[in-house]
Amino acid sequence: MSQSTKSSLISCPVCNREFKQELIEEHVNKCLFLNTPEQSGCKRDSSFLKKSISPVEKRLKLDPVSTSKHQQIKETTPLATKNKSVNVDDTKTVPLAETMRPVTLNDIVGHKEAFGPGTMLHAMLEQKKVPNMILWGPPGCGKTSLANVVSNMCKESKNMRFVKLSATMAGINDVKEIVKVAKNEAQFKRQTILFMDEIHRFNKLQQDTFLPHVENGTITLIGATTENPSFSLNNALLSRCRVIVMQKLSVDDVLSILKRAIQNNKQIVIAESETCKEKKTEGVIPRIIIEQESLQWLAEVCDGDARIALGALELAITSRNTEQDVCTEGPAVISLEDVKNGIKRTHMLYDRKGEEHYNVVSAIHKSIRASDDNAALYWTTRALSGGEDPLYIARRLVRAACEDIGLADPNALVEAVACLQGCQNIGMPECDVLLAQCAVRLARAEKSREVYRAMRQCQRFLQETKGPLPPIPLHLRNAPTKLMKQLGYGDGYNLLHKEQSGLTYMPSGMEDVDFFKDI
């Protein structure tokens, strides 16, 4: 090798190998990616995803002159990070709902049909085999809690690594970076499990990013969504994942979670209202006493959302004067009235643009069709309480008046249209009684679907007709000009009843077709 060629080579600051000047930059980028400070042997830790290398450190690594300075930064960084984490832990307040997340599969409350003992998913998770799955359920039902259990399983296993992302903050580049690392980890027999929270926030094009990597096993995808996967996720992605339907937690399940949260705090006890005074006189006096009725009310009012229940419990406990002298004043008592006065029911699961929107309005229509006035009133009121557009409900009532009542009570349509106009004029909240009254009136009316069924029959007939549609008879055609009259348009037409006119009003060849008799 000539002296000029040797002088043109540049040594890599990471691995000390020599490369040409045009290749050194590409090599250093790869070398920095594959060689992190935490590297041990051939395996490397995935912590670089959480902590990226700062531009200063990159510059120091590339600068051979600054080796000693870089070594000093490298040695002092863990200590600074450690001290910083201690300070954060001292001041950071973790919400009660976060601290109560289950650690093992047996700690999960409810969902026995989805992944309870005896189910296929429960057996697979016990064997540390995680399938591709989409967790679909309302907020606070335990989707992230199940992912937390899988995360703890991965920590116990050397062949599994868990990565958590949220579609509200992450993008395609983050997913590509994780896939790149997962491919490298697969060489060392380590499986990457990616938990994507709120996966429905990715559009259909972004969701296609997961397809090849889920199919070839590079990553195992666990998606969590509150939207119906049939509408919000790609069919191709759904075919590669198992959809786990998670329902709202029952009152007993939420109550069990609240009691478990209190049992973890030795300064809080649960007591019946009449035994509160006895609890104060026991040897070990607690700081706070909460009545059983308070927990029961919280479990009932949270609408199956454990996160809201735990947040309300934490708010009730924090609001009490816990700094009082327990020896002299006794423990603070959280009664049912205290909880009701401080915490109001301020939410109801309802999505004006999602599946719940269509489900509730469908329930209104079907209750009217079944003549159940009580159910029609309930679903109408529930839709309005959830923030539904009153005009949308009114338009659906007009449809029900035509489709299900029809000619059995023609005045029903008149009243439904009047209800729609009234809602347009006065709006909410005054128009709520208009909708309630109209829904009850339609439910109690006589029902006739004769016209609706005949229309459907006619539509099917037109769709199934082969070839061109039959021409309109000449005597039924309009004849505004002299030429049309000469061609026979309107010739022979009279104003008599069809039984007396001697004319046919159906197209040629369809004289015997009767959509009302063929229903």
Report pTM: 0.59
Q: What is the DSSP string of 340-402?
A: HHH---------TTSHHHHHHHHHHHHHHHTT-HHHHHHHHHHHHHTT--HHHHHHHHHHHII
Note the CATH number of domain 355-448: 1.20.272.10
In single-letter form, the type of residue at position 279 comes to: K
pLDDT of the residue at 81: 37
Between the CA of residue 296 and those of 253, 306, 332, 449, what are the distances in Å?
A: 11, 13, 19, 46
Fold of 99-245: Rossmann fold (3.40.50)
Structural domain boundaries in the chain: 1-35, 37-91, 99-245, 251-342, 355-448, 469-501
What is the rounded end-to-end Cα distance, in angstroms, of the chain?
95
Strand 18-19 to 10-11 pairing: antiparallel
Q: Which residues pair with 133 in a beta bridge?
A: 222, 242
* Cβ density class 265-298: b for 16+ within 10 Å, e for less: eeebbbbeeeebeebbeeeeebbbbbbeebbebb
Nearest CA-CA partner of 100 in 305, 261, 249, 256: 261
pLDDT of the residue at 439: 95
pLDDT of the residue at 75: 39
pLDDT of the residue at 503: 87
Q: Which residues contact 158 (CB under 8 A, 6 or more apart)?
A: 190
Between the CA of residue 306 and those of 104, 115, 286, 379, what are the distances in Å?
A: 18, 18, 25, 24
Residue 14 phi, psi dihedral angles, 5° rounding: -100, -55
- How many whole angstroms separate alpha carbon 7 and alpha carbon 226? 62
Secondary structure element (H or E) that encloses residue 179, with its range: helix 172-186
In single-letter form, the type of residue at position 377 comes to: L
pLDDT of the residue at 363: 93
Kindly indicate whether the domain formed by 1-35 is annotated with CATH number 3.40.50.
no
pLDDT of the residue at 374: 95
pLDDT of the residue at 314: 83
- How many whole angstroms separate alpha carbon 363 and alpha carbon 357? 10
pLDDT of the residue at 403: 93
pLDDT of the residue at 428: 84
Q: Give pLDDT tens digits along the chain (519 positions).
A: 555 555 577 877 777 778 777 777 777 777 766 665 444 444 444 444 444 455 444 444 444 433 333 433 333 333 333 333 333 344 457 788 888 888 888 888 888 888 888 888 888 888 888 999 999 988 888 899 899 999 998 888 888 999 999 998 988 899 999 999 999 988 888 899 999 999 999 988 889 889 999 998 899 999 999 888 888 888 888 888 999 888 888 888 888 888 888 887 766 777 665 454 454 444 456 677 888 888 888 888 888 888 888 888 888 777 765 445 444 456 777 777 777 766 665 555 555 556 677 888 999 999 999 999 999 999 999 988 888 889 999 999 999 999 999 999 999 999 999 999 999 999 888 899 999 999 999 999 999 999 999 999 999 888 888 888 888 888 888 888 888 888 888 888 888 888 888 888 888 888 888 888 865
| Residue tagged 């085999």 (tokens) | 129
Fold of 251-342: Helicase, Ruva Protein; domain 3 (1.10.8)
